[in-house]
Chain A
Amino acid sequence: MKQGSVGWNDMPAINRDLLAPLSPGGRGYVLLVVLLAAIVSAGAGAWIYQIETGIGQTNLHPPIFWSAYIASFVYWIGVSHSGTFISGVLRLSKAEWRRPITRIAELMTIISVVIATLFVFYHLGRSWRWYYLIPYPNQREIWPDFRSPLMWDATAVLTYATASTIYLYLPLIPDFALARDRIGGWRRPIYAALSLGWQGSQQQWQALNTAIRIITPLIVMVMISVHSIVGYDFGMSLVPGWHTSIIAPYFVVGAVHSGLGMVAIGLYLVRRTYRLESYIRLEHFDKLGKLMVAMTLTLAYFYFSDQLTVWYGKVPDHMAILHSLMSGTFAVPQWTMITLIYVLPLITLTIPAFRHWPLGMMVIGLCINVGMYIERMLILVPPLAHPRLSYNWSDYFPSWVELTIMAGSFALAVLLYVLAVKFVPIISIWEEKEGHLHGRESH
């Protein structure tokens, strides 16, 4: 294998270990990429079919005008909070254990924002007229209506996508420079361009650190606002069950909950695939587990407050929804969801030994994510299925087109991640080195 100017074996072990994932993948890797690409194609085919024939390919019908696509949008925006929360909040609080996790999480952020945006397009009745949402000068002087929460949402998601791309990119510059110097071949000019002439001078380090210091608090604020606004899409409506003031903070915490679960899955897979046991250590899983317990409890508290208020108030419009969830049409998904996102995490993650078991942490991460997906569906569908005029009550389950598009989008997320891992050092090398230095100084 031809490398850059310095021989592979001459490099310090940390560079070798952390640049190794960038080398071309084996047969298993190619097979995985092909498999994922096949599922993505199936999803794309389903979408084309839906555009050709109509949104009627979904199982939507009045009064349920939103469901699987919007629930998926909310879910993926939620997953995107993994990166910003883990990396932003932990960077702000100077938590040392964040170092090997940040990049893994930040990559998830970018990819899931992209996937979330796709769902908006799947959802639109006339997706080919999407540009009506952009305020562009036109002959008829019609602008988008910024009174609509959907416009706030579009603005917020665009801001979030831009900000988190910058936030991912800044700490990557020194690592791209390292890759430029150490990895040859066709990728070299790309790394050279992306590293913006980084030489590692004192001045450059100072500029980088200042930039990261400025953007970190900003990105945390953007993160909170984004999911609040996604919550407002529902909260601002008159729909019973949506129209509640707790929905914004509830969405933010729910997002972080699924995000942390996704980070646990990512950590486990990256660690196992690239044998990074000495970088992603058991203490990282332990800390992550504790954070997940805190999120589970916060989310459960919000959920309980909301449902208790509804139950005690006994307003018929709201009670119809609560009944359908607790013992009616939606009871099975409801109780599955409660088990997956509250009960299982609390039972397992409060045991210290469990938090030191990477596989177990991954499984809990999976449970939380499946549960949160169901939860997003349950936020949307039961309230819409029970409008105030009970003549219109209805029911819903996704169609095969909806399910295929959802599966294809999930595969696209994994595919983008699998491809990105081959291009971006998945653990921030310079931050890891800085951590080693700090560790040595403090002992």
Chain B
Amino acid sequence: MSADQEKTPEARPHRWQMVIDLDRCTGCEACVVACHAENNIRISGAQEAAEGRAINWIRIERYWEGEYPDVKAKFMPVLCQQCADAPCEPVCPVYASYHTPEGLNAQVYNRCIGVRYCGNNCPYTARQFNWFDPHWDPPLQEQLNPDVTVRQNGIMEKCTFCVQRIRQGKEQAEREGRPVRDGDITPACVQSCPTTALVFGDGNDPASQVAQMSKSRRGFHLLESLGTHPAITYLKRLDE
């Protein structure tokens, strides 16, 4: 175990966090598409989608409120909550699901043997499984991201907070001899959100937008009572 891992989240150099403002989310699913393109997520097709097997690292959960004709659709983007105390980690028998020194929940694809316990134990159903080998209809294979591994049949995967972009941002800052600035790093979903409902940043930088927003009185964590300590703060809708 490295020295960073033993430190509390506050004592580490970075604590990557996200804020999701439910009041701004329109349920447009641009984040879903962006995530697919960025992270080489396999195209499942209509049949697999009907079987409930379409892989999405981020999804828009839609809940209906009220009775017809007075119904309201409510949208909630759900992705891996990058829990500080992640239920998926200790149940993995081979350390494929593990906590990085920066506090992210990483999935080591090469190590995964597909027991799928992590999938059961994730209360957010954020984890996805590769039921078959990946496949892209031509010419979609041309747009694969070279910075992201293509996952094979039989292993688990999930949102990484675009770890490749985090790494890029840090390397860029290092080259320029400066600390990582707020806004340097944006995961694909955050970048593509037309209403800026998603905000990403370093929670250990008190001046960052994410640190400011997560202190909002509207803030809450998903399934907070489970004690998973997610890195994602949701902001309640204003009309409630």
Interface residues of A (CB under 8 A from B): 53-56, 59-63, 65-66, 123-127, 129-130, 132-133, 142-145, 147-151, 154, 233, 236-239, 384, 387-392, 394
- Interfacial residues of chain B within 92-108, with CB under 8 A of chain A in the complex: 92-95
Cα–Cα, bound, A143→B96 (Å):
11
B113 contacts A129, C-beta separation under 8 Å:
yes
- Answer whether residue B35 sits at the interface, using C-beta atoms and an 8 A cutoff: no
The 5 A-B pairs of least Cβ separation, nearest first, read A125-B114, A56-B131, A125-B154, A65-B116, A65-B119
**What is the total number of residues of chain B having a CB less than 8 Å from a CB of chain A?**
43
Q: Which of B13-21, B24-32, B122-130 contacts A (4 or more CB under 8 A)?
A: B122-130
A388 contacts B53, C-beta separation under 8 Å:
no
The contact sample of 19 A-B pairs, CB cut-off 8 A, is: A54-B130, A55-B114, A55-B154, A56-B132, A62-B128, A62-B129, A63-B119, A63-B120, A123-B115, A123-B116, A125-B154, A126-B155, A127-B113, A142-B111, A147-B91, A154-B93, A388-B223, A389-B124, A389-B222
- Complex interface: chain B residues within 8 A of A65 (CB): 116-117, 119-120, 129
Residue on A with the closest CB to B154?
A: A125
Chief secondary structure at chain A's binding surface: loop
Q: Mark B128-152, 1 if CB is under 8 A from A, else 0.
A: 1111110000000000000000000
B90 contacts A147, C-beta separation under 8 Å:
yes
Interface residues of B (CB under 8 A from A): 48, 51-53, 61-63, 76, 78, 87, 90-95, 111-117, 119-121, 123-125, 127-133, 153-156, 222-223, 226
B125 contacts A62, C-beta separation under 8 Å:
yes
B132 contacts A53, C-beta separation under 8 Å:
yes
Cα–Cα, bound, A124→B153 (Å):
11
Cα–Cα, bound, A53→B93 (Å):
24
Shortest C-beta distance, B200 to chain A (Å), equals 22
Shortest C-beta distance, B13 to chain A (Å), equals 25
Shortest C-beta distance, B175 to chain A (Å), equals 30
Which residue among A54, A62, A123, A150 has the maximum number of chain B CB atoms within 10 Å of its CB? Answer: A62
Residue on B with the closest CB to A234?
A: B120
A150 contacts B113, C-beta separation under 8 Å:
no
A391 contacts B114, C-beta separation under 8 Å:
no
B113 contacts A125, C-beta separation under 8 Å:
yes
Q: A54-B153, A62-B119, A391-B63 are in contact. Are A148 and B91 (CB under 8 A)?
A: yes
- Complex interface: chain A residues within 8 A of B51 (CB): 59, 61
Cα–Cα, bound, A387→B130 (Å):
20
Cα–Cα, bound, A144→B91 (Å):
11
